[in-house]
């Protein structure tokens, strides 16, 4: 009997940044990485949000079709070149979450 592939659930990648220099420079570097990531198969969308109390802190929340798609994107040969600038501008901590509940207002 052939083994069936179990569909992988959507995942949410959460990356918290503490910027050591200019927030504007960090945002520009992030935009360049985001342009690369938007071209990768499996990305559903992302947000970059700045802490309202501390402008040196950011959070990036990216939704992916599944963990395999995210792994493939960060395993892409060009990924390291794209993120190197951001690594020089900020410290980051990241986690991956399986989606359980979701509400998105369709009017927004």
Whether residue 108 is predicted with pLDDT greater than 80 in this model: the reply is no
Predicted local distance difference test score (pLDDT) of residue 105: 86
Residue 84 banded pLDDT, cuts 50, 70, 90? very high
d(CA 27, CA 10) in angstroms, rounded, equals: 26
Comparing 3 with 26, the larger pLDDT belongs to 26
74-99 exposure pattern, b = at least 16 Cβ within 10 A, e = fewer: eeeeebeebbebbeebbeeeeeeeee
In tens, the pLDDT along 29-56 reads: 999 999 999 999 999 999 999 999 999 9
pLDDT, average across residues 81-106: 91
The model's pTM: 0.87
Comparing 108 with 40, the larger pLDDT belongs to 40
């Amino acid at each position: 009997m052939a083994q069936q592939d179990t569909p992988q659930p959507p995942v949410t990648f959460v990356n918290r940044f503490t910027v050591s220099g200019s927030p504007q420079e960090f945002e520009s570097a992030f935009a360049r990485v985001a342009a690369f990531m938007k071209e990768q198969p499996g990305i559903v969308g992302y947000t970059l949000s700045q802490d309202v109390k501390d402008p040196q802190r950011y959070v990036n929340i990216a939704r992916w079709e599944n963990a395999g798609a995210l792994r493939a994107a960060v395993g892409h040969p060009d990924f390291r070149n794209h993120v190197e600038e951001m690594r020089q501008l900020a410290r980051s901590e990241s986690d991956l979450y399986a989606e359980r509940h979701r509400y998105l207002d369709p009017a927004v």
